[in-house]
Amino acid sequence: MLNGKTVLITGGSGSFGKKFVEVVLRDYPNVKKVIVFSRDEQHQWDMQQQFPKNKYPMMRYFIGDVRDLDRLKRAFNDVDVVVHAAAIRNVDTAEYNPDECIKTNVLGAQNVINAAIECGVKDVVALSSDKACEPTTLYGATKLTSDKLFCAANNISGGKDIRFSVVRFSNVLGSTGSPYPIFKRAIQNGDKSIKLTSAEMTRFNISIVEGVGLVLYAIGHHVGGEIFVPKCMSYRVTDLAKAMAPKLAIEEIGLRPNEKLHEVLIPAADAQNTVDLGRCYVILPAHAFNHSNQEIISHHKAQYVPEDFCYSSNLNSEWETVESLAAKIKRYIDPRN
């Protein structure tokens, strides 16, 4: 699928970008070029040590910002596939710096779209977040806007042979936005309890490898306009605390402002446009002008979900246990322990 092609990932020096590059280099040895585009010089330098030029001559690194349309155009020259992972993700940072969040997450998304169309890119897949579902924060609102922009981009591409789609998944277990690092700090600090905002809280669980896999699936199978959503297992946050620190007490401190009790990847309002592909769900575009939703359904051999469908972490049928969470932490996040 990617052999012989040039692939660029915005925000490519972040945790997702690093794993994406690792998987592409491993599974597509004949990829033409892999371009890491980001504004983080130090992380790019670290990646160059991880993927040295003498061993990976196809690697390229561009310092740049998605806010800079001219720089994007320069970077997208002769690129076949773009994965858009750049974003301001921290909820509190977004609330305190709303204009900066909008410049990156919304205007930056439109810049990626414009540069991709102008430069003849063939496939564009943007990363989304569970917080884009019925958003209660500025970050979530900007990601919902970004999702809408990428899905609608298929309608403004004219006669260009280009497809835009979105992949939406939850926070990766162990990532900065997940409960894991908060609990880890409490353990390292010698706290006597694990502080939870609510003992009823649930979250979806997805590994970064699974996230990369869904992005690659979308690149290879999308028609344009889809939002791909993985089928994940759920976990109770209390079970994660028990898996990490079974001897510590659990203390409830109350929900933070705008914090959701459960994670939602597909809200009930989108059920009428959601289909089941087997390995994942797809939210069809609400307005498609270059091809019909029936064409997308036929392409994916998909079936509509029930009318009352809502994909929320508390309503899931598949659940992690304390034991399975402990095993995954040891395998994927903290193998030294």
Q: Catalytic residue numbers?
A: 131
Residue type, 26: R
Q: Which two tokens stand for residue 271?
A: 């059920």
The DSSP result for 187-212, as a single string, is HHTT-SEEEES-TT-EEEE--HHHHH
Cα(153)–Cα(184) distance, integer angstroms = 41
User: Which residues sit opposite 283 in a β-bridge?
Assistant: 227, 274
Exposure b/e, 68-81, CB count within 10 A at least 16 = b = ebebbeebbeebbb
Please write down the long-range contacts of 303-310, taking CB distance under 8 Å and 24 or more positions apart. Answer: 303/275, 303/276, 304/274, 304/275, 304/276, 305/271, 305/274, 305/275, 305/276, 305/281, 306/271, 307/271, 307/272, 308/268, 308/271, 309/266, 309/268, 309/271, 309/274, 310/264, 310/266, 310/267, 310/268, 310/271
Q: Which two tokens stand for residue 243?
A: 């898996």
